[in-house]
Structure 1
Amino acid sequence: MSHSPSQSLTTNTSVTPHQQAPNSLLPKTYPQFILFGDSITQGASHILQSSLAAWYSRRLDVINRGFSGYTAPAGYSTLEQFFPLIPPTPITPPPRVQLMTVFFGANDACVAGSPQHVPLETYKAALRNIVAYPGLKLHATQPILVVPPPVDEYQLVGPDRNAATTAVYAAACRDVAAELNVPVLDLWTVFMTKAGWTPDDAAQGRPLVGSRDAPRSEVLDGLLSDGLHFTPDGYQLVFEQLVALLVAELPHLTPENLPMVFPDWKFVLGVDV
């Protein structure tokens, strides 16, 4: 999928760490990589968030803004309250939000009658609203849509979710990403492919892996802790796939191509090497 990389704000790049003396009185803030989503994001601190924080060490702060139980419309309402609408400047810089994953749909895909159910078109509209939020333009934020993963009906408790409905919402998220020309991390396809699912299975009308019409999947057992949320192995897979996406589609936003906020120690101590 092709897309146009976000351009850096002129005000943000007019003064760089290497152009300032180490004892500069101008305030410095780390740019941010926000993980925005529902409980799957909220639970990502031990593997996904910490691994990203290590990868982006001294370059970006990785911030967890996961909200358990939230749907995409609820997420959009919350985004309006925490995402700064003030453009960053060298003099009074709020943290610049450089990257943001948008990971909703697991709750929206609850079946009709569930209190978390969101109609399909409302879900898609909320994703569009998040990507079009004015704060993202002010901060030149690069959004990445994350497709909700499959569920495992063998592990789920209660009738609120099923594999077939989740697949429909996953496809809707992919459609919005294509429509808006933004990068997409397709976790539904990643997890299903790892579990042995192929496009030919769909063409032949075979039951979805994760549904009770198909044999129980040991792979999904290993990736999902309760049929919905991720195990450590699941989060590790997400980290690996997200890094692969960044390297392939957004190489200018990988750590090796981003400056450190504060300079190397040799510069600070005046060591000539």
Structure 2
Amino acid sequence: MSGVSGSPTRSAWKKVLLLGDSLTQFGFSKDGAYASLLADYIQRKCDVISRGFSGYNTKWCKVILPDILKEFDPKNIALATIFLGANDSNLPENVTQHVPLPDYKQDLKDMVDMMTNFGIPRERIVLISPPACDEKAWRKYCVDNDKIFTKCNATAGKYAAACEDAANECGTKSLDFYGNMMKRQNWQEALNDGLHLSAIGSDLLFNLLKPIVDQATSDVSMVYPEWKDVDINNLTGCLQP
């Protein structure tokens, strides 16, 4: 799509805001690169902004979300995702990161309220469920790295269901990443250490997000015209609104 969308200034670029834990923090890494894939897919239309915090749960992210939102103009947010639960769903013996299931659901709803009160429409917010956990691989990782193993795949599934319930109750979009992973015959391949995304997992998440992103950015034009549409005899008129 060619043409200039508004004034070619910083404010002209729409944003896709990704909020989450390590799965989001690693979103531009070699393996966990779902954010990189998104950024490439909507380049020249939207900036993909990752606000991922390794080890964080919903209780912690709820505290920092107001400060994060202050960075943005709500009318420039094309889409905002909340991708949390991998840490919340640790078993209760992990007293640092575990968040009880009812609290997790309420935290998600509270964060949606924070975003909508800020000015982001509900239909532009997506709750992404936590992924499945390969207990065997993650246990090995924990042993090798002197970490306490406190994950359970069945428990992760309960948190994924709570995430979907929260989205339904809030009127936002939802993405059942856990369920889509578990449909795969060799779903463990979507993870590189039992918990974090592999290249296969990142590609899966990206493809699940694509139709949501397409809908959210359907009214967003490319900023500045394509090179073949540039009038070389009138650069100022063509490239400045």
Settle same-fold status: TM greater than 0.5.
yes
* 2:143 corresponding residue in structure 1: none
Q: How does 1:1-273 map to 2 (within 5 A)?
A: 17=4, 28-46=11-29, 47-84=33-70, 87=73, 96-114=76-94, 115-134=96-115, 137-140=118-121, 142-157=124-139, 158-195=148-185, 219-247=186-214, 251=215, 253-254=216-217, 257-265=219-227, 266-267=229-230, 269=232, 270=234
For structure 2, list consecutive stretches of 5 or more residues without a partner in the other structure. Answer: 140-147, 236-241
* 1:202 corresponding residue in structure 2: none
Q: Please give the secondary structure, in 2, of the residue aligned with 1:73.
A: helix
TM superposition shift of 1:188: 0.7
TM superposition shift of 1:257: 3.6
Using CA pairs under 8 Å that are at least 6 residues apart, name the structure with larger relative contact order, 1 or 2. Answer: 2
Structure 1 residues 113 and 57: alpha-carbon distance in aligned structure 2, compared to 1, 3 A threshold: same
Structure 1 residues 86 and 190: alpha-carbon distance in aligned structure 2, compared to 1, 3 A threshold: closer
Structure 1 residues 120 and 264: alpha-carbon distance in aligned structure 2, compared to 1, 3 A threshold: same
| Whole-Å separation in 1 of the counterparts to 2:64 and 2:45 | 26
What is the aligned-residue RMSD (CA, Å)?
2.6
Q: Please give the secondary structure, in 2, of the residue aligned with 1:70.
A: coil
Structure having the larger proportion of residues in helix: 2
| Whole-Å separation in 2 of the counterparts to 1:32 and 1:222 | 31
Question: 1:170 is aligned with what amino acid?
Answer: A
Question: 1:180 is aligned with what amino acid?
Answer: C
TM-score (norm. length: structure 2): 0.81
Q: Which one has a bigger Cα radius of gyration?
A: 1
Contact 1:86 1:138 in 2 (8 A): no
Amino-acid identity (%): 32
Between Structure 1 and Structure 2, how many residues are aligned?
219
For structure 1, list consecutive stretches of 5 or more residues without a partner in the other structure. Answer: 1-15, 89-94, 196-218
Bigger drift between 44-53 and 177-186 goes to: 44-53
Q: Please give the secondary structure, in 2, of the residue aligned with 1:32.
A: strand
Question: 2:100 is aligned with what amino acid?
Answer: P
Contact 1:28 1:261 in 2 (8 A): no
Contact 1:98 1:140 in 2 (8 A): no
TM-score (norm. length: structure 1): 0.72
